[in-house]
Amino acid sequence: MSNLIPPHGGKGLTCCLLEGAELEAEKKKAEGLKKVSIAPRAKGDLIMMGIGGFSPLTGFMTKADWQGVCDNFQLADGTFWPIPVTLDASKEDADGISAGDEIALYDPEGDEIMATMKVTEKYEMTEADKKFECEKIFMGEGTPTAEEFWKIAKDDHPGVQMVMEQNDVNLAGPVKVLSEGEYPVEFAGIYMRPEESRKIFDDKGWTEVAALQLRNPMHRSHEYLCKIAVEVCDGVYIHSLVGNLKPGDIPADVRVKCIAALVEGYFVEKNVVQGGYPLDMRYAGPREGLLHATFRQNYGCSRMIIGRDHAGVGDFYGMFEAQTIFDKLPTSDDPGKMLLCKPLKIDWTFYCHKCDGMASLRTCPHGKEDRVMLSGTMLRKMLSEGLALPDHFGRDEVVEILRAYYEGQTEKIEIKMHGAATGEK
């Protein structure tokens, strides 16, 4: 009997991935269905529905689900969900598809049919619909009015650009997932299904597990956040994104090496588990923090570490908006429909020369001139430009791995700085 937090939705892990004879039969059937090309984001969403990471979702959202998620953080049946999981289709692909049809979802990059889908609804997404979604999902305290938001969002917010560039038709319906893509091979030992992480935690006897979200190389601030979590929970799950990022972000295989070096050299290994998940970043700040907590609950984590500017981009969000949003969630008479994974809220952390160690705004009384403000964006910019890093910015083993990566890059990508990265915000 597991003592871990139950999966989200009250239905256990809802896994849409087929196996064995059922898989082979569905693959054969898929070859005769109309193929609809999918974008990388939808591929990651499909895999998460396949392995139970998106429990209780078993397909792409209807218009009613989309509306409820945007307006109230809830699916049409009242289950908490923070970000739309929708499938857009080109006009060419959508033409001729009606409710009741079965289609094959095709990944053109991997040249693979990822899933079959029973279409239950086809609905239009006008420009007004897309703008509504962007304002609900991506607009934060950094741009408190729609006018301010749209002045910069179309050019500077990758999540907004992704939504506005989507096709004008969405398809909804349950899926049968046929593949986990390249992840089980390319990230063997790191990529995990929720049932696998839960077994590891159970075998360790853990009950309270904290998750650390990573899309940047693990620097001293991340290390400190993890160590705080280890002190107050049974263990920590360092769970990094191995899907797609925006240009200039460091690829997953490099980040995995950095985490491994830190775990080996600076942690009691029995208290830490490293894993990876296949989603693309949406850069939705507070809303994405909620999504991170939702699927970490499925992976067996009862706490989600939420620090400064979680899942943020630029200056779109308040520094701790991803913490306060957890205090504003809808309630339900059915606990299974509520988000049960709670935030582990931690203040801005840094190295302080006068404290002679890692500290936070809650514990350090000294001034900015005494602090080494640790930011993944700052780290990437300095390394990409070959600049020397300040003492205590990162562990030597990690910096060595990152320098080797940047020295091998022939094309330079400009990395924009913002208030959160420079310590000015």
Which H/E stretch holds residue 171?
Answer: strand 169-177
Q: Cβ atoms within 10 A of the Cβ of 164, count?
A: 15
- Give residue 167's pLDDT: 97
Residue type (1 letter), 113: I
Which tokens hold the place of 51? 């392995």
**Domain topology for 20-125+166-180:** Sulfate adenylyltransferase (3.10.400)
**CA diameter of the chain:** 68
Q: Which residue intervals of 106-191 are DSSP H helices?
A: 127-138, 146-156, 158-164, 183-186
- Give residue 414's pLDDT: 56
Find the mean pLDDT for residues 160-173.
97
The domains of the chain are located at 20-125+166-180, 184-422
Q: Taking Cα atoms as reference points, which of 106, 107, 213, 83 lies closest to residue 159? A: 83
- Give residue 412's pLDDT: 60
The whole model's pTM is what? 0.93
- Give residue 408's pLDDT: 83
Write the pLDDT tens digit of every residue in 134-161.
Answer: 999 999 999 999 999 999 999 999 999 9
| Mean pLDDT lowest among 14-23, 175-184, 395-404 | 395-404
Write the pLDDT tens digit of every residue in 345-356.
Answer: 999 999 999 999
3 flagged as catalytic: no
216 flagged as catalytic: yes
What is the rounded distance in angstroms from the CA atom of residue 283 to the CA atom of residue 103?
30
Radius of gyration over every alpha carbon of the chain, rounded to an integer in angstroms = 21
Decide which of 244 and 228 is more confident.
228
Q: What is the CATH number of domain 184-422?
A: 3.40.50.620
- Give residue 388's pLDDT: 81
Find the mean pLDDT for residues 78-89.
98
Catalytic residue, candidates 41, 193, 198, 215: 215
- Give residue 187's pLDDT: 93
Which tokens hold the place of 129? 């619909």
Catalytic residue, candidates 41, 170, 216, 308: 216
The model's confidence at residue 7, banded by pLDDT at 50, 70 and 90, is very high
DSSP-derived 3-state class of residue 296: helix
Handedness of CA 159, 165, 169, 175 (dihedral sign): negative
Question: Is pLDDT at 421 greater than 50 in this prediction?
Answer: no
| Sequence-separated contacts (24+) of 15-22 with Cβ below 8 Å | 15/50, 15/51, 15/52, 15/55, 15/195, 16/49, 16/50, 16/58, 16/59, 16/115, 16/174, 16/175, 16/176, 16/177, 17/50, 17/51, 17/177, 17/178, 17/180, 18/176, 18/177, 18/178
Q: Is 112 in contact with 27 (CB distance < 8 Å)?
A: no
Question: Is pLDDT at 217 greater than 90 in this prediction?
Answer: no
The rounded mean pLDDT for the chain is 93
Question: Is pLDDT at 419 greater than 60 in this prediction?
Answer: no
Q: Is 136 in contact with 72 (CB distance < 8 Å)?
A: no
- Give residue 391's pLDDT: 82
| Fold match between domain 20-125+166-180 and domain 184-422 | no
